Amino acid sequence: MSAIQNFISLLDPNVRNVLLGTILLSTSSSMIGIFALLKRKTLITDAISHAVLPGTCLAFFLTGEKNSVWLIIGAFITGWLASIAINTITTQSKIKQDTAIAIIASLSFGFGSFLLSILQHSGQASQGGLKSFLLGSAATLLREDINLLLLLSLMIIVTLLLFFKEFMVIAFDRLFAKSIGMPVQKMDFIFTSLLVLAIVVGIRAVGVILMSAMLITPATTARFWTAKIAYIMLFSILISLFSSLTGTFISYIVPSMPTGPWIVLIMSLIAYCSFALSWCYRTFIQNR
């Protein structure tokens, strides 16, 4: 049986694990990425993505093992602390948000790389594979990783659907949401938690460096094609799913090709093509 037939038949359990993991990741990340785009939190996602690296390293320092649950907890804590730090710097000083994001992102990633370097030279056999958190390693996903990914992804999707109306109102008109009695602060807390969780969920498959692209690229690409939120969400999910399936297929056919970077590369190609087609339409057709 050829590699292509083996991939399509899903007889290989590793293929099933990777496909299921990337499908769950792409669905949840593309959905929450839309709200991040509407709430103008696209740059914050990048800072949080870089901030989860020291969390995973510290979790390994404390536990001494690569347990997915502890690594996710550690990453979630440092990701949350990064979002709090950005908000505190922005509100309590004259430093603007983009500068605060750059400060936190660079410090977090630098500290995480420092801890990762210490672990790699510590001589501990169990630290092998921690470097995969930089660019991800979807091919190494195990069944227990998929179960945890399924649980966390469903938690994100269900929470987004339950509070869809509240998130939409706050994203479009924060003052109006406050005037009608919506718990804006509580909703912000829930959204930030979901955003950090979505990033943490994807670090095993895509990595801390590329996770922000998984969140933002599908939503921005879908925005080129439609202005309706329902269609933006649908197109965003479809783009993310197509990129995930295609990237997984390429990395399976050519084992030396990592899954995460290929997924992001395909997303980026779709985004550039969408931008070019949108520009051509506005320039040569709409203005005619």
Write out pLDDT tens, residues 6-39. 667 767 777 777 777 778 888 888 888 888 888 8
Read off the tokens for 214. Answer: 């998984």
User: Could you tell me the CA-to-CA distances from 236 to 26, 155, 212 in Å, in that order?
Assistant: 9, 19, 14
Residue 269 pLDDT class (50, 70, 90 cuts): very high
Instruction: Decide if 215 contacts 263 (C-beta within 8 A).
Output: no
Q: pTM for the whole thing? A: 0.82
Three-state DSSP at 210 gives coil
Cβ-based neighbours of 129, under 8 Å, separated by 6 or more: 66, 137, 140
Instruction: Decide if 286 contacts 232 (C-beta within 8 A).
Output: no
Read off the tokens for 246. Answer: 């295609």
Total number of domains constituting the chain: 1
Three-state DSSP at 165 gives helix
Express each pLDDT in 59-104 by its tens digit.
888 887 777 778 888 888 998 999 889 888 988 888 888 888 888 8
- Print the domain residue range for 26: 3-286
Express each pLDDT in 130-187 by its tens digit.
666 655 666 666 777 777 788 888 888 889 889 888 888 888 888 888 888 888 889 8
Query: What CATH number does residue 39 fall under?
Result: 1.10.3470.10
What are the phi and psi torsion angles at 53 (to 5°)? -60, -50
